[in-house]
């Protein structure tokens, strides 16, 4: 079956004219396992103008399920929104995914998915991988007032060939727009009030913004341990990277445990009883991570205090009465 949905993935940050923009695609199955495409291509064109393709080129295979395209953006490229159209085939099925790209003359956000921050985020996800690939089966959506848009409980859907949209219990493969970033499906025409829309999807519990915040907070915790330091995510020394990752993973687990106290998140784990058991397991894992990073940072105090102000104080002892004689000497102008 060929899926002909228009799938909005969402975007973060800007691309800058005259630089190289890195566009990434991650493909998983419904269980969250990476999937390799039999063939894959990409077209980039101004948003809303698919006939005006600006560039198409070789997609680089990075690792299972992960593809990258380096867009050499011309310095004369018009500022505005563009669409990256990924077309790939898996097991004979053709899939099309769309990503919005903002080409700007501002560099803000252009390094969010390259360099050290991206590497830290990838490492953190390895410690909380299951939370980033949670399957949901046949969830019924909430309709909008006009019965065109149907919203599901969880946003941040992972791209995958096994996403299924059901209309009145029947799988559909066209006629709707899937916003994977927001977790909703919009039909071109209003459905009848008695019609029902459901979906099988796989989603990420944490957004990239949350992961970045966990990492930045972790670096600041490293800084507070003596001797005080002023590291950033880009300058923290390699020997403290494990501590940063463990601290960030601890914050992620703390957030997850809190969320499981509420109804909808608990249902993902099988209901209140199963959620309580999951919370207990996560609490134990969190304690293990906390113990690990605490032990790592205890060693920071033994590092050289190079470049820091320090004072060496040698205690002085006198015989009884000696101190009073010293005070008399000072206040008498030196006369004995």
What does each C-alpha distance from 171 to 28, 165, 314 come to in angstroms?
Answer: 20, 6, 82
* pLDDT score recorded for residue 1: 38
User: How far apart are alpha carbons 247 and 254 in whole angstroms?
Assistant: 11
228 and 220 in contact (C-beta within 8 Å)?
Answer: no
* pLDDT score recorded for residue 333: 58
Q: Based on C-alpha coordinates, what's the Rg of the chain?
A: 28
Structural domains present in the chain: 6-110 (2.60.40.1220), 137-203 (no CATH), 208-302 (no CATH)
DSSP code at position 191? P
* pLDDT score recorded for residue 241: 94
* pLDDT score recorded for residue 305: 59
* pLDDT score recorded for residue 83: 87
* pLDDT score recorded for residue 210: 93
* pLDDT score recorded for residue 107: 55
* pLDDT score recorded for residue 218: 96
User: How far apart are alpha carbons 235 and 112 in whole angstroms?
Assistant: 16
**Which residues of the chain fall below pLDDT 50?**
1-4, 109-110
* pLDDT score recorded for residue 258: 92
150 and 185 in contact (C-beta within 8 Å)?
Answer: yes
3 state DSSP class of 288: helix
What size, in residues, is the chain? 336
User: How far apart are alpha carbons 54 and 21 in whole angstroms?
Assistant: 14
- What contacts 60, CB < 8 A, 6 or more positions away? 67, 68, 69, 70
């Amino acid at each position: 079956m060929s899926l002909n949905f228009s799938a909005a993935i969402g975007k973060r940050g800007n691309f800058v004219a005259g630089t190289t923009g890195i566009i990434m695609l991650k493909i998983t199955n419904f269980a969250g396992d990476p999937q390799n495409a039999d063939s894959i291509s990409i077209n980039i064109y101004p948003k809303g103008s698919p006939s005006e393709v600006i560039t198409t080129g070789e997609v680089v295979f990075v690792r299972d399920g992960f593809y990258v395209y380096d867009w050499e953006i011309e310095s004369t490229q018009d500022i505005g929104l563009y669409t990256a159209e990924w077309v790939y085939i898996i097991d004979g099925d053709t899939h099309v995914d769309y990503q919005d790209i903002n080409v700007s003359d501002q560099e803000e956000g252009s390094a969010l998915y390259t360099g050290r921050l991206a590497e830290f985020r990838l490492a953190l996800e390895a410690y909380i991988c299951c939370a980033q690939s949670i399957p949901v089966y046949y969830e019924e959506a909430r309709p909008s007032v006009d019965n065109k848009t149907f919203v599901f409980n969880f946003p941040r859907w992972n791209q995958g060939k096994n996403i299924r949209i059901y209309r009145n219990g029947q799988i559909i493969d066209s006629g709707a727009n899937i916003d994977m970033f927001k977790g909703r499906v919009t039909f071109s025409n209003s459905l009848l009030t008695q019609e029902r829309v459901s979906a099988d999807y796989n989603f990420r519990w944490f957004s990239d913004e949350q992961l970045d915040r966990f990492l930045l907070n972790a670096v600041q915790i490293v800084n507070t341990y003596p001797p005080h330091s002023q590291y950033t995510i880009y300058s923290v020394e390699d020997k403290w990277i494990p501590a940063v990752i463990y601290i960030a993973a601890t914050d992620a687990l703390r957030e997850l445990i809190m969320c499981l106290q509420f109804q909808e998140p608990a249902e993902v784990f099988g209901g209140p009883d199963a959620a309580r058991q999951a919370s207990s397991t996560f609490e134990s894992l969190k304690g293990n991570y906390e113990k690990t990073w605490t032990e790592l940072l205890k060693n920071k105090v033994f590092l050289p205090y190079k470049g820091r102000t320090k004072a060496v104080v040698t205690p002085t002892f006198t015989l009884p009465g000696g101190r009073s004689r010293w005070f008399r000497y000072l206040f008498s102008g030196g006369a004995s």
